Amino acid sequence: MQAYRISTFGVEALESTTLPMPEVGPGMVLVRIHAVSLNYRDLMVVEGRYNPKMELPRIPCSDGAGEIVAVGAGVESVGVGDRVCTLFFQRWMDGAISSENSKGALGGDVDGVLAEYVALPQDGVIRFPSHLSYEEASTLPCAGLTAWNALHHAGVPESPGGAGETVLVQGTGGVSIFALQFAKLAGMRIFGISSSDEKLERAAALGLDAGCNYRDVPEWSRWVATVTERRGVNRLIEVGGAGTFAQSLEAAGFGGLIAQIGVLSGGVATGAVPLTQILRKQLRVQGIYVGSKTMFAEMNETIAGAGLRPVVGEVFAFEAARDALMTMKSGQHFGKIVVKGTVA
């Protein structure tokens, strides 16, 4: 089968290769991959920034959608012909995250899905809503589920966000656009920041209530204060990291929750970070790490019920996977970047 493998770090060095078909042992399923969506993590993995000590060679990418074409002995929960997504965390089925169930993430700890076929345990896949194409479904395992967790669980099983809350989304990438779509469904009021006025307009068409260009307004927490009549926001989808965290602390309202998801501008804060805002406003800074299979099932139910369609910004052919990664690196995209499998 065809697959991409990292033998040396770097997008240009990502090799397209022919590998033996994966073996389908007892309790396992063989998935023919039809689409793979990219996450910023995949770029970091390929460039050696995610885990410079990662064992190589490694097939990258966590998020695939495909069709089950064979099952091993004892497989009962899914069958041949099922259209499924791969799970980012192959072992986090339910409850809270732990050191044990967060091991074995696809495209990091173990081989990922940027290949024609992948063999996984039957529990490591989940059927997706029938109205979605493979390309759309491939966006769910990491970006979709992370946004869902941040809005409706905040890292723990029970912490529902809901109607009437205000939320701020940062940028217009995969996680943030999902957060915008889910927040809209939940009846939240949504504010957003972006580097681009044109992207803010596109976000407004999806339901963004008000937007601010963070290049023009680096102290965008002041803008948040204005649009919320000084109340601040209830929830922040924090993906910027070092460059945005201080502003997020300022922008959060009393009792607010900062869902700490990403580190796009670095993972180590360098400037002044107003820690007193955390105690003064009794903020919660909650790390979010994708989500469990139970959360995925709940998200699927909502997506199916609402007929929601993920925003796929650009689609690349399998042979152009390196171009897809370079597009992610450029930050020009809106929503998700998808690489097609070798079959439609």
Ligand X SMILES: NC(=O)c1ccc[n+]([C@@H]2O[C@H](COP(=O)([O-])OP(=O)(O)OC[C@H]3O[C@@H](n4cnc5c(N)ncnc54)[C@H](OP(=O)(O)O)[C@@H]3O)[C@@H](O)[C@H]2O)c1
Q: Which two tokens stand for residue 55?
A: 């064992």
Q: Which is nearer to ligand X, 174 or 310 (CB)?
A: 174
Q: Which residues contact 74 (CB under 8 A, 6 or more apart)?
A: 26, 27
Contact (Cβ atoms closer than 8 angstroms) between residue 183 and residue 167: yes
Query: Which amino acid is it at 208?
Result: L
Minimum CB–partner distance for residue 223 and ligand X (Å): 13
The dihedrals phi and psi of 100, each to the nearest 5 degrees, come to -75, -50
Chain CA centroid to CA 245, Å: 19
Minimum CB–partner distance for residue 64 and ligand X (Å): 15
SS3 label, residue 86: strand
Q: Which is nearer to ligand X, 174 or 253 (CB)?
A: 174
Minimum CB–partner distance for residue 202 and ligand X (Å): 9
Contact (Cβ atoms closer than 8 angstroms) between residue 256 and residue 281: yes
Q: Which is nearer to ligand X, 236 or 261 (CB)?
A: 261
Q: Which two tokens stand for residue 314?
A: 């650009």
Q: Which is nearer to ligand X, 181 or 244 (CB)?
A: 244
Minimum CB–partner distance for residue 219 and ligand X (Å): 13
Q: What is the DSSP string of 161-209?
A: --TT-EEEEESSSHHHHHHHHHHHHTT-EEEEEES-HHHHHHHHHTT-S
Tell me which residue has tokens 């697959």. 3
Q: Which is nearer to ligand X, 83 or 199 (CB)?
A: 199
Q: Which residues contact 33 (CB under 8 A, 6 or more apart)?
A: 64, 65, 66, 113, 115, 116, 117, 118, 341
* Residue ranges binding ligand X (CB under 6 A): 39-41, 142-143, 146, 170-176, 194-196, 199, 214, 239-240, 243-244, 261-265, 288-290, 328, 331
d(CA 80, CA 68): 5
Minimum CB–partner distance for residue 334 and ligand X (Å): 7
Query: Which amino acid is it at 319?
Result: E
Q: Which of 33, 3, 29 minimizes the C-alpha distance to 15?
A: 3
Q: Which is nearer to ligand X, 118 or 169 (CB)?
A: 169
Q: Which is nearer to ligand X, 185 or 242 (CB)?
A: 242
Q: Which is nearer to ligand X, 144 or 341 (CB)?
A: 144
233-238 sheet: strands from edge to edge = 210-213, 189-194, 166-170, 233-238, 252-260, 284-287
- Which helix (H) or strand (E) segment holds residue 286: the answer is strand 284-287
Minimum CB–partner distance for residue 166 and ligand X (Å): 18
Minimum CB–partner distance for residue 289 and ligand X (Å): 4
Q: Which is nearer to ligand X, 194 or 292 (CB)?
A: 194
Determine the residue with CB nearest ligand X.
Answer: 173
Q: CA-CA-CA-CA torsion for 66, 70, 72, 75, nearest 10 degrees?
A: 60
Minimum CB–partner distance for residue 243 and ligand X (Å): 4
